[in-house]
Amino acid sequence: MFLFILLLSQTSSNIKQLYTDVFTSYQPSILPNSDFSAPLEITLTPYLMTITQFQEVEETLDVSVGIITSWVDDGFSWTPSSYGNAEHIIVPHTDVWTPKLVLINSVETYEPLAGDNDIFATVYYNGTMSIAYGDVLSSKCTANIYKFPFDSQTCDLQFAVWRIASNDITIIANPVSLAFYNTNSNWALDSYNSKSIIMNGYSMLIE
């Protein structure tokens, strides 16, 4: 008895054909929800990189953060075996619909995270999408200097998808990760958490 196993390997031709096929009728300007009777669920996994500084007088907190964002885009699906077993492709974020995350309590601007930087989205064969944002952010944080210079501060980072209400998008919050955290010589991180809430008609991540 002979057993033959066919091993398929991806080639550039496979990926190019896959890209052509899946983007033939795709429209990145449309919210990619398969059922508009319910909001699109977007899962956010926040990563705290470092606490850059806290200014008591200005009441501002500067931090470096990353957020891995995932959702299901009903506009994508393919059979991997038809394209050399390709289970995912990596494309510029401008080629697909992506949520425009903004820091609501920013002290600067309401520009989407990562701004005009070139970032990439990963598209999986079952429609799952993933994109990683990263930025250095300055947020408003009311200072409590009662025990200065041995004070502690509680600060929030408030994220939302810009101008899309909670009846169209729901944010699912994963726990904060410290996998890439770098300590600050002036401040010790005492506790941290994340949660999703509805505020003023918008689904938000509070970190």
Say which CATH number the domain at 104 has.
2.70.170.10
Residue 67 located in a structural domain? yes
How high is the pLDDT of residue 153?
A: 83
Torsion, CA 124, CA 128, CA 132, CA 137, rounded to 10:
160
How high is the pLDDT of residue 63?
A: 95
Residue 7 located in a structural domain? no
Structural domain count of the chain: 1
* Entry pTM: 0.89
Residue 150 located in a structural domain? yes
How high is the pLDDT of residue 196?
A: 97
Residue 5 located in a structural domain? no
165 is in which domain, residue-wise?
Answer: 12-206
Residue 1 located in a structural domain? no
Residue 114 located in a structural domain? yes
Residues contacting 155, CB < 8 A, separation 6+: 54, 61, 139, 141
Residue 172 located in a structural domain? yes
Residue 187 structure tokens: 């401040």
Residue 154 located in a structural domain? yes
Q: How many residues does the chain have?
A: 207
Instruction: Collect the ranges in the chain with pLDDT lower than 50.
Output: 1-7
How high is the pLDDT of residue 188?
A: 85
